[in-house]
Amino acid sequence: MTFTLTEPQADETASGARADVLDADFYAFQNLLTDAEQRALREIREFLETEVRPFADDHWDRAESPRHLVPRIAELGLYGEAFRETRSFENSNVFRGWVAMEISRADPSTATFIGVHSGLAMTSIAVGGSDEQRAEWLPVLARGEQIACFGLTEPGHGSDTAKGLETIAERRGDEWVLNGAKRWIGNGAFADVVVIWARDVADDQVKGFLVRTPSVGFEATKIERKQSLRTVENADIVLTDVVVPESDRLQRIDGFRDLAVVLRLTRAQVAWQALGVAVGAYECAVAYAKARVQFGKPIASFQLVQQKLADALANITACIGMCVRVSQLQDEGVQKDHHSAMAKAFVSARVRETVALCREICGGNGVQLGGQEQLGIPAGYGIARYFADAEAVYTFEGTYDMNSLIVGRAITGIAAFV
| HSE toward the beta carbon, residue 189, CA cutoff 13 A | 16
| First CA to last CA distance, the chain | 57
Residue 130 in contact with ligand FAD, rule: CB under 6 A: no
Smallest CA-to-CA distance from 386 within 403, 402, 371, 401 is with: 371
- Least Å distance, CB 68 to ligand FAD, is 21
The greatest distance separating any two alpha carbons of the chain, rounded to the nearest whole angstrom, comes to: 78
Rounded Cα–Cα distance for residues 394 and 402 (Å): 11
User: Taking a C-beta distance cutoff of 8 angstroms, is the pair 291, 298 a contact?
Assistant: yes
Residue 106 in contact with ligand FAD, rule: CB under 6 A: no
Residue nearer to ligand FAD on the CB measure, 235 or 312: 235
Residue 386 in contact with ligand FAD, rule: CB under 6 A: no
Which of 392, 394, 403, 406 binds ligand FAD (CB under 6 A)? It is: 392
Residue nearer to ligand FAD on the CB measure, 210 or 313: 210
The mark string for 6-45 relative to ligand FAD (x by CB under 6 A, - otherwise) is ----------------------------------------
- Least Å distance, CB 418 to ligand FAD, is 6
Which of 116, 305, 361, 362 binds ligand FAD (CB under 6 A)? It is: 116
Rounded Cα–Cα distance for residues 344 and 191 (Å): 26
Alpha-carbon distance values, 245 to 217, 297, 353 (Å): 15, 68, 47
User: Taking a C-beta distance cutoff of 8 angstroms, is the pair 189, 236 a contact?
Assistant: no
- Least Å distance, CB 189 to ligand FAD, is 11
Which of 229, 263, 323, 390 binds ligand FAD (CB under 6 A)? It is: 229
DSSP H helical ranges for 154-222: 161-164
Which of 234, 273, 354, 365 binds ligand FAD (CB under 6 A)? It is: 234
In terms of DSSP bridges, do strands 148-151 and 193-200 run parallel, antiparallel, or are they unpaired?
parallel
Residue nearer to ligand FAD on the CB measure, 152 or 242: 152
User: Taking a C-beta distance cutoff of 8 angstroms, is the pair 122, 82 a contact?
Assistant: yes
Residue 180 in contact with ligand FAD, rule: CB under 6 A: no
Which of 399, 408, 409, 410 binds ligand FAD (CB under 6 A)? It is: 399
- Least Å distance, CB 65 to ligand FAD, is 12
Three-state DSSP state, 20: coil
Residue 181 in contact with ligand FAD, rule: CB under 6 A: no
Smallest CA-to-CA distance from 114 within 85, 149, 75, 154 is with: 149
Query: Binding residues for ligand FAD, per CB under 6 A?
Result: 116, 149-153, 158-159, 184-186, 228-229, 232, 234, 392, 395-396, 399, 401-402, 417
